[in-house]
Amino acid sequence: MQASQPSISGTRDYAGDDAVALQAARDAIGATLRRYAYAAIDPPILESALPFLNRSGEDIRRQMYIFPDPAGQEVCLRPELTIPVCRAYLRQLQAKEGRRNAPERAARLSYFGPAFTYEAAREDHYRQFYQAGAEYIGAPSREAADAEILAAALDCLAAAGLEQTSIEIGDVEIRNAFIDQLPVNDKSKARIRRVALRNPKNAALAAAAGTAAAVADETNQFGELASLLAAAKPGKAELLIREVFALADVRHVGGRTPEEIVERLTSRTAQQAEPISAELIEAVAALLNIRAAPDAAFKAIREHFRNFRIAAIEPVLERCAKRLRYVEAYRGGPLAVRFNVGLRRGLEYYTGCLFEIYAKDMRQIGHVCGGGRYDNLLEGLGADESIPAVGFGIGLDRLLAVLQKSGIRDAEDTAVVDALVIAAGNTRHEQCIRAAAALRAAGWSVELDSSEHDDDSALNHARKHKISCIISVSESDLKKGQIRVRRLADRDERLVALSSLADETKNGARESLGKKR
């Protein structure tokens, strides 16, 4: 037999129990979100690349699958689902607002589907991965919406089987409140914010890159081209880029037009960030390193702001405390969390609350759920004003990995066949078909034997595939409107009327007949 073609690196096949587990997790999360009144939405996999590049930050460019379609339009495989959901929301909102009695802007939306990022292939991290999540858009009370999203995320994970978790919460407003009041110019502040967003662990070293020399070094990533474009007369730079692209038959680069590329290159050469003192560098790094239980973290944050004579943090901390009180109300008691000022999500559109949820004692796999607030994203996507929004996403591939490694999910949990239907004696196959149809109509999952198993081989087959019951169909029993049900768990065997299967199943008869839960 010829060897099969290998799968693409960083992808995986879901089959058998794994496919069942993926569907079960999706169903559990979907059912939980429906109880929170979240409506399902399913945006396309193909999206325009520009919204991701403009709103998620330049770092995502290297991880995206971007390509031209046959018509020449630059498209991408979506790298995440928040932006597609928000885009779809705005499109629906625009259509509805033209009608009378238009609905309110608030919307609770849930989703499930694949996303794609190009990164180094490693265990439990894939280039095509599945996300399930929710977005709460337009809620007037931000802290209440934040708490609802975090509580819903925890309930979704518990429904899928993961109850032992560790939680980290942060808030972008804390670091922004500190950086905004530093005695440096706006361009230096913007650089420090980018550094804090991308790598808080090395903030002390990276913040030092806020000097003018570092700006020049960053610009020189583009070589002498950036300097040439900056020195060119108005209009000449765009013409030069256009001519280069025309010679190479290139219409876009990474989803950007020639005009946009020129604007970004020339603006970088014009930036002049002033040097930042070592004291301020260390101050930012120390703030980002605060990570403790909420009360201890809030105390440390207050002291840090006070030491540098920076005010305006108390309202932010009050909102953080209120958010946690709301979450505890959802959970029915205190919630074990770490407040992490340096928490980052790797996307630039977050504006407030952030959180990540890990499987307890399995942080090496990475967070299984993350989310936060993004109040400016929808306006950047075309809304006529800022619309508050918050959401979360669950990485189902990672979730299934931690469930399996922790022993929560095994083959027995994912078995879905309730019964194996076999013929007794010389019973005709069409009679077995009728019996199987009756069982399926009553809600059973049934495998119909077509291999003419005898009793022993049928029993071995059922045990191997963890089937709970064997249904023996005989002509004599069928004449009485009955089938014979043998439970493998306790070897009990009895006759069951076909006419009562549906009613008995609704009342839990399947459990009584041997379906182990």
DSSP string, 15-68: -HHHHHHHHHHHHHHHHHHHHTTPEE----SEEESHHHHHHH-GGGGGG-EEEE
How many whole angstroms separate alpha carbon 370 and alpha carbon 356?
Answer: 4
C-alpha torsion sign, points 485, 491, 494, 500: negative
What integer pLDDT is reported at residue 27 of this predicted model? 95
| H helix and E strand count, the chain | 22, 17
- Using CA atoms, how far apart are residues 429 and 73, in angstroms rounded to an integer? 56
Report CA-CA distances (Å) from 199 to 193, 195, 203, 205, 351: 10, 6, 6, 10, 17
Residue 217: is its pLDDT beyond 60? no
Task: Kindly give the residue spans of alpha helices, DSSP state H, lying in 161-277.
Answer: 172-180, 186-198, 203-207, 212-219, 224-231, 236-248, 258-270
- Please tell me whether residue 471 adopts helix, strand or coil conformation: strand
Judged by DSSP in three states, 495 sits in: strand
- Give me the mean pLDDT over the 440-464 stretch: 83
3-state secondary structure at position 376 = coil
Q: In this model, does residue 478 exceed pLDDT 90?
A: no
pLDDT of residue 367: 92
Find all residues with CB under 8 Å of 484, minimum gap 6, and list them.
424, 471, 472, 473, 474, 477, 493, 494, 495, 496
What's the Cα-to-Cα distance from 203 to each of 68, 71, 285, 305, 372, rounded to whole Å? 37, 44, 5, 18, 22
State mean pLDDT over 379-391. 92
Which residues, listed in sequence order, are joined to residue 46 by a DSSP beta bridge? 77
Residue with tokens 């936060």: 372
pLDDT band at 2 (very low <50, low <70, confident <90, very high): low
Q: Do residues 498 and 480 lie in contact, with contact meaning Cβ atoms separated by under 8 Å?
A: no
The tens digit of pLDDT for each residue in 338-367 reads 999 999 876 778 999 999 999 988 888 889
pLDDT in tens, 111-133: 999 999 987 766 667 899 999 99
Q: Tell me the pLDDT band of 273, cut-offs 50, 70 and 90.
A: low
pLDDT top residue among 281 and 370: 370
> What is the spatial distance between Cα 242 and Cα 238, in angstroms, rounded to a whole number?
6
* Average pLDDT, rounded, for the chain: 81
Q: What is the CA radius of gyration of the chain?
A: 29
Q: Which of 13-17, 80-84, 456-460 has the highest mean pLDDT?
A: 80-84
For 117-172, list the strands marked E by DSSP.
128-137, 165-171
How confident is the model over 299-303, as a mean pLDDT?
96
Per DSSP, what are the bridge partners of residue 165?
A: 359
pLDDT given at position 268:
54
Binning pLDDT at 50, 70 and 90, where does residue 322 land?
A: very high
pLDDT above 60 (res 371): yes
Task: Choose from 96-100, 189-193, 259-263 the range with maximum mean pLDDT.
Answer: 189-193
419-423 vs 446-448, strand pairing mode: parallel
* Residue 44 or residue 191, greater confidence: 44
- 435, 449 in Cβ contact below 8 A? no
Q: Which residue has the higher pLDDT, 93 or 392?
A: 392
Per-residue pLDDT for 216 more than 70?
Answer: no
Token duo for residue 197: 């967003």
Burial pattern 225-246, b for ≥16 Cβ within 10 A else e, equals bbbbbbebeeeebbebbeeebe
Q: Degrees (nearest 5) of the Cα angle 13, 18, 24?
A: 125
- The pLDDT, as a whole number, for residue 260 is 61
Q: How confident is the model at residue 266 (pLDDT cuts 50, 70, 90)?
A: low
Element (H, E) at 356: strand 353-359
User: What is the DSSP pairing of strand 39-40 with strand 107-116?
Assistant: parallel
pTM value is 0.78
Given a cut of 50, whether residue 389 has pLDDT beyond it is yes
Mean pLDDT, residues 196-220 taken together? 47
Q: How far is CA 64 from the centre of its chain?
A: 16
Who has greater pLDDT, 360 or 406? 360
The larger pLDDT score, comparing residue 429 to residue 293, is at 293
What's the whole-number mean pLDDT along residues 11-34? Answer: 92
**How many Cβ atoms from other residues are within 10 Å of residue 186's Cβ?**
9
Q: What is the DSSP annotation of 263-290?
A: HHHHHHHH--PPP--HHHHHHHHHHHT-
Is residue 160 within 8 Å of residue 403, measured between CB atoms?
Answer: yes
For residues 326 and 313, give the distance between their C-alpha atoms in angstroms, rounded to a whole number.
20
Contact 355, 373 (CB under 8 A): no
DSSP SS3 for 147? helix
Q: Which amino acid is at 491?
A: R
Per-residue pLDDT of 408-437, as tens digits, reads: 765 444 456 888 998 888 888 888 898 888
Three-state DSSP state, 344 = coil
Task: Write out the H or E segment, with its range, that includes residue 300.
Answer: helix 294-307
Q: Comparing C-alpha atoms, which of 339, 345, 335, 342 is closest to residue 373?
A: 345
